[in-house]
């Protein structure tokens, strides 16, 4: 009998070019993937999170040449910077893609050879004007209004060059149909519309090679030793080469179970590499390799972090260094800012003042203060011991308010869950974009719970109850503290994908799941139920979790 294994949740990111060190845009994407990966871990799923670096190509060869070191050595140094940053930022991937590895090279060559044998790759001659500086053929689109090529192209010469081409164009109709049939192929949905429009206009095949005389820092074509494969067949293939794909098998049914258990992936990319790279080339490459429609990955496209509305760039000198930010504010503070201050899919403006503002208001003033005052009151009023409230006070210590306090916290949790999930898993009466990985909205649900708990403290004023000596006041005081501790316990679980260190800190101070200290298994969505705190639980002593940042 066939044994159906539970499917692994597979998530990938773009692999970063190793021509210069990571900046805050790279950090955003990897943290976003890490948060979604951790969220699926919370749900108890098996998770495989793949990220890595794109080490071949012209840009890298040029940057290496400028520093005067061989590309292999140059790439090692930059790669290490990425690895160091992910460690510093608590980005916990399960495998690391390096495109110079043998494992990757074998898969790329295996795929190219198979497509070549099937007649999907052919050789052709291109003749035309060529920019030596930009290393590319120019078309009429590049001509200025005066009909000339502008100075940005440098020296122009007429060239004839033979190269290999992949028959992209023959799959255009398939791609359009696929996009029409699957409304959540790309999220958010305005990006799918953008792709659909671009796919309609696409024409021609894809040049996939460069003669070694021009570029030799790449993977050699297995059927033409004087050429390397150029950019996309190398880079995009990482998503399957590091997931166990066997290039010799075109039928997906014959792929190793290790691969089939994971694929298809949720793939996180920036808006600049949707069209044409991922949306057109990658989907068509997969199709040509034999992947059926139901085995196509889903693309989650994020926006860009800008600086005062402008692009970050080395030449402008406005690159934001994530290492500096982590050293100054800590990994959690940067993660929290990146995840909460950008609406997933949209662009945002990076500002250090904003980072400080959000940290101080959401973390120091709201959540940190809630933890601190709760544990202080618990210690002062009842020796840190929390009893299970009786009757309706279990759900609602503020009986006058009418609405059940616990119910509102649970509602926020449910809203958090739908925001963290893929749109297609939502009930049909909600629009797709509403729940599709809107991490910033999920964070708002959590900070909303903290606000609600703080509001409860203000309305019931536990210090007044503590002055009463009657059993009624005492019981009510305990019920309020119980509600606050339950809220904090649930918040810690929900916020753990975003600020894992702080979540551990909250659990530590609540004296909760101490046997699993520092282990991620401490956090599970199944525990985010109201009323799990056992009768007579003794909470810990408060220590400031989010000291205010004074700017
Ligand atoms: N190597 C290619 C991707 C190959 S994927 C098979 C590449 N590398 S990159 O280093 O230029 O960009 C890597 C990722 O970082 C991309 O998804 C890109 O959108 C993202 N970002 C680069 N700058 C960014 C911002 N300023 N803001 C947010 N993300 C940005 O493209």
- Reported as a single tens digit per residue, the pLDDT across 448-477 is 999 999 999 999 999 999 999 999 999 999
Cβ atoms of 151 and 193 within 8 Å: the answer is no
Q: How far apart are CA 473 and CA 462, in angstroms?
A: 9
Name the nearest CA neighbour of 89 among 427, 324, 435: 324
Any atom of ligand 1 within 6 Å of the Cβ of 342: no
Please, which pLDDT band fits residue 2 given cuts at 50, 70 and 90?
A: very low
172 Cα: distance to centroid of ligand 1 (angstroms): 26
Any atom of ligand 1 within 6 Å of the Cβ of 236: yes
Please, which pLDDT band fits residue 283 given cuts at 50, 70 and 90?
A: very high
Q: How far apart are CA 377 and CA 476, in angstroms?
A: 13
Any atom of ligand 1 within 6 Å of the Cβ of 47: no
Q: Which two tokens stand for residue 202?
A: 């696409």
Name the nearest CA neighbour of 39 among 517, 500, 485: 500
- Helix, strand and coil content of the chain, in percent to the nearest 5, comes to 50, 15, 35
The mean predicted confidence, pLDDT, of the chain is 94
Q: For 105-130, how does the pLDDT look when each residue is reduced to its tens digit (9 = 90+)?
A: 999 999 999 999 999 999 999 899 99
51 Cα: distance to centroid of ligand 1 (angstroms): 12
Any atom of ligand 1 within 6 Å of the Cβ of 15: yes
- Atom 10, ligand 1: which residue's CA is nearest? 16
302 Cα: distance to centroid of ligand 1 (angstroms): 10
- Atom 30, ligand 1: which residue's CA is nearest? 25
Residue 215: CB atoms within 10 A of its CB come to: 19
Indicate if the pLDDT at residue 171 is higher than 70: yes
User: Which stretches of 71-133 are assigned E, i.e. beta strand?
Assistant: 95-98, 121-131
First to last CA, the chain: 65
Arithmetic mean of pLDDT, 361-378: 98
Q: How far apart are CA 533 and CA 519, in angstroms?
A: 20
Would strands 47-54 and 16-17 be described as parallel, antiparallel, or unpaired?
parallel
The SS3 assignment for 291 reads: coil
Cβ atoms of 149 and 188 within 8 Å: the answer is no
Q: State residue 75 phi and psi, 5-degree precision.
A: -65, -35
- Atom 17, ligand 1: which residue's CA is nearest? 270
Q: Give me the pLDDT at residue 429, please.
A: 52
Using most ligand atoms within 8 A of CB, pick from 33, 79, 268, 270 the residue to mutate for ligand 1: 270
92 Cα: distance to centroid of ligand 1 (angstroms): 19
Q: State residue 24 phi and psi, 5-degree precision.
A: -65, -25
Least confident of 147-161, 315-329, 441-455: 147-161
Ligand 1 atom nearest the C-alpha of 238 is: 6
Any atom of ligand 1 within 6 Å of the Cβ of 28: yes
Any atom of ligand 1 within 6 Å of the Cβ of 29: yes
Q: Which two tokens stand for residue 396?
A: 């609602």
Cβ atoms of 346 and 303 within 8 Å: the answer is yes
- The rounded percent of the chain whose pLDDT value lies above 90 is 89
149 Cα: distance to centroid of ligand 1 (angstroms): 29
Q: Give me the pLDDT at residue 425, please.
A: 43
Question: CA 265, 269, 271, 274 torsion: positive or negative?
Answer: negative
240 Cα: distance to centroid of ligand 1 (angstroms): 19
Any atom of ligand 1 within 6 Å of the Cβ of 14: yes
Burial class from Cβ neighbours inside 10 Å (0-12, 13-18, 19+) for residue 394 reads: middle
What separation in angstroms does the CA of 210 have from each of 108, 286, 335, 497?
A: 15, 22, 40, 43
Indicate if the pLDDT at residue 400 is higher than 90: no
- Atom 20, ligand 1: which residue's CA is nearest? 270
Indicate if the pLDDT at residue 3 is higher than 60: no
Please, which pLDDT band fits residue 6 given cuts at 50, 70 and 90?
A: low
DSSP state of 141: G
Ligand 1 atom nearest the C-alpha of 26 is: 15
Least confident of 57-66, 234-243, 256-265, 279-288: 57-66
What pTM, to 2 d.p., does this model score? 0.95
Residue 141: CB atoms within 10 A of its CB come to: 5
Using most ligand atoms within 8 A of CB, pick from 32, 219, 272 the residue to mutate for ligand 1: 272
* Partners of 302 in beta bridges: 270
495 Cα: distance to centroid of ligand 1 (angstroms): 26
CB contact set of 420 (below 8 Å; sequence gap of 6+): 36, 39, 437, 438, 439, 442
- Atom 13, ligand 1: which residue's CA is nearest? 16
Cβ atoms of 204 and 168 within 8 Å: the answer is yes
Arithmetic mean of pLDDT, 337-360: 97
- Atom 6, ligand 1: which residue's CA is nearest? 236
Q: Give me the pLDDT at residue 402, please.
A: 78
Any atom of ligand 1 within 6 Å of the Cβ of 234: no
- Atom 8, ligand 1: which residue's CA is nearest? 16
Q: For 417-440, how does the pLDDT look when each residue is reduced to its tens digit (9 = 90+)?
A: 999 998 654 445 554 445 589 999
Q: How far apart are CA 464 and CA 472, in angstroms?
A: 13
Cβ atoms of 61 and 17 within 8 Å: the answer is no
- Atom 12, ligand 1: which residue's CA is nearest? 16
32 Cα: distance to centroid of ligand 1 (angstroms): 13
Half-sphere exposure of 524 (CA within 13 A, CB side): 12
Q: Give me the pLDDT at residue 426, please.
A: 43
Arithmetic mean of pLDDT, 262-288: 97
Arithmetic mean of pLDDT, 160-185: 96
Q: Which two tokens stand for residue 156?
A: 């122009």
**316-327 b/e with 16+ CB inside 10 Å = b?**
eeebbebbebbe
- Atom 23, ligand 1: which residue's CA is nearest? 25
Q: Give me the pLDDT at residue 313, please.
A: 87
Name the nearest CA neighbour of 58 among 316, 319, 235: 235
Question: CA 460, 465, 470, 471 torsion: positive or negative?
Answer: positive
Ligand 1 atom nearest the C-alpha of 271 is: 19
Q: Which residue has the higher pLDDT, 59 or 385?
A: 385
Using most ligand atoms within 8 A of CB, pick from 54, 59, 60, 232 the residue to mutate for ligand 1: 54
Arithmetic mean of pLDDT, 262-285: 97
């Amino acid at each position: 009998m066939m044994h159906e294994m539970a499917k692994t949740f597979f998530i990938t990111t773009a692999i970063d070019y190793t021509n210069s060190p990571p900046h805050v845009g790279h950090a955003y994407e990897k943290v976003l993937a890490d948060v979604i990966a951790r969220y699926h871990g919370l749900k108890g799923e098996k998770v495989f999170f793949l990220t890595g670096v794109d080490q071949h190509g012209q840009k890298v060869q040029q940057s290496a040449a400028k520093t005067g070191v061989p590309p292999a050595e140059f790439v090692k140094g930059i790669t290490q910077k990425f690895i160091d940053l992910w460690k510093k930022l608590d980005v916990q991937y399960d495998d690391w893609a390096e495109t110079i590895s043998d494992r990757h090279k074998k898969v790329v060559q295996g795929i190219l050879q198979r497509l070549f044998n099937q007649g999907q790759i052919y050789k052709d001659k291109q003749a035309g004007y060529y920019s030596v500086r930009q290393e590319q053929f120019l078309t009429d689109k590049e001509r200025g209004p005066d009909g000339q090529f502008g100075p940005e192209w440098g020296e122009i010469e007429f060239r004839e060059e033979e190269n290999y081409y992949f028959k992209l164009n023959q799959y255009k109709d398939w791609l359009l149909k696929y996009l029409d049939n699957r409304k959540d192929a790309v999220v958010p949905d305005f990006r799918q519309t953008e792709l659909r429009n671009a796919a309609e206009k696409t024409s021609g095949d894809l040049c996939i090679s460069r003669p070694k005389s021009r570029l030799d820092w790449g993977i050699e074509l297995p059927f033409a030793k004087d050429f390397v494969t150029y950019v996309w067949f190398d880079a995009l293939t990482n998503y399957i080469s590091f997931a166990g794909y066997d290039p010799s098998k075109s039928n997906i049914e014959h792929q190793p179970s290790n691969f089939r258990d994971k694929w298809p992936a949720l793939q996180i990319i920036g808006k600049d590499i949707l069209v044409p790279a991922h949306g057109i080339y990658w989907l068509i490459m997969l199709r040509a390799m034999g992947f059926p429609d139901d085995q196509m990955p889903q693309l989650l496209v994020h926006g860009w972090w800008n600086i005062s509305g402008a692009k970050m760039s080395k030449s402008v000198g406005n690159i934001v260094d994530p290492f500096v930010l982590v050293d100054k504010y800590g990994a959690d503070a940067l993660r929290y800012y990146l995840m909460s201050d950008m609406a997933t899919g949209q662009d945002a403006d990076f500002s250090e003042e904003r980072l400080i503002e959000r940290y101080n208001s959401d973390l120091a003033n709201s959540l940190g203060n809630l933890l601190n005052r709760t544990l202080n009151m618990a210690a002062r009023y009842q020796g840190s011991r929390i009893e299970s409230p009786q009757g309706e006070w279990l759900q609602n210590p503020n009986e006058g308010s009418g609405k059940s306090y616990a119910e509102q916290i649970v509602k926020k949790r449910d809203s958090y869950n739908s925001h963290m999930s893929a749109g297609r898993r939502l009930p049909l009466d909600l629009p797709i974009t509403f729940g599709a990985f809107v991490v910033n909205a999920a964070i708002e649900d959590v900070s909303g719970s903290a606000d609600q708990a703080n509001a409860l403290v203000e309305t019931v004023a536990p210090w007044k109850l503590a002055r009463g000596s009657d059993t009624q006041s005492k019981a009510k005081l305990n019920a309020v503290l119980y509600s606050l501790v339950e809220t904090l316990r649930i918040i810690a679980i929900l916020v753990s994908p975003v600020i894992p260190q702080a979540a551990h800190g909250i659990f530590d101070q609540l004296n909760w799941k101490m046997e699993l200290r520092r282990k991620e298994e401490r956090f599970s969505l199944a525990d985010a139920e109201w009323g799990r705190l056992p009768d007579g639980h003794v909470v810990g002593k408060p220590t400031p979790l989010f000291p205010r940042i004074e700017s």
